């Protein structure tokens, strides 16, 4: 039987960021789905995104490489589970290419884009496989890092 911490309700394994971005949702969606745009905002500065391959469709794979200030690169592979243009994007690192399981599943991300006064209600929900994974992601700086990336996303979307 799984430890009690692993059987807690889903919300105990989630991290959520939600903001209104002063841009139409099609612009926010484009920034998530077009490689040349995603590379401009995806990593929290001073980190950069050195490479992005996005096959944005259910079952399509992605490869996003983040580069640290010291030059080390961190590839992130995943597969899209659901895509509704301008409404939602769901992806997971549980798979790498096609339906090949990854060596260590960490999270599934549900992005939603909704009309709201002043622009787009952007919500990023990171659902982790375990409470320990969620705690690790918090210690890695989820709130600060994803918050800074969202600031960068908002700035870019406002220019599109």
Please report the domains of the chain, with CATH numbers, ordered by start residue: 13-157 (3.30.530.20)
35 contact partners, CB below 8 Å, separation of at least 6 = 52, 53, 54
pLDDT score, position 9? 52
pLDDT score, position 98? 79
* Tokens at 155, concatenated: 């700035």
* Tokens at 29, concatenated: 């969606």
pLDDT higher than 80, residue 6? no
* Tokens at 96, concatenated: 């790498």
pLDDT score, position 97? 84
Predicted TM-score (pTM) of the model is 0.90
């Amino acid at each position: 039987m799984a430890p009690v911490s692993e059987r807690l309700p889903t919300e105990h394994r989630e991290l959520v960021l939600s903001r209104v971005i002063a841009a139409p949702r099609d612009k926010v969606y484009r920034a998530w789905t077009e490689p040349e745009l995603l590379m401009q905002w995806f990593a929290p500065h001073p980190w950069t995104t050195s490479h992005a391959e996005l096959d944005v469709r259910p079952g399509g794979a992605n490869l996003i490489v983040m580069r640290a200030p010291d030059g080390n690169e961190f590839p992130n592979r995943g597969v899209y589970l659901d895509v509704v243009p301008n409404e939602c994007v769901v992806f997971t690192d549980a798979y790498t290419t096609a339906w090949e399981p990854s060596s260590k599943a960490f999270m599934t991300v549900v992005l939603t884009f909704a009309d709201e006064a002043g622009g787009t209600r952007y919500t990023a929900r990171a659902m982790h496989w375990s409470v320990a994974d969620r705690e690790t992601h918090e210690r890695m700086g989820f709130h600060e890092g994803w918050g800074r990336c969202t600031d960068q996303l908002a700035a870019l979307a406002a220019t599109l």
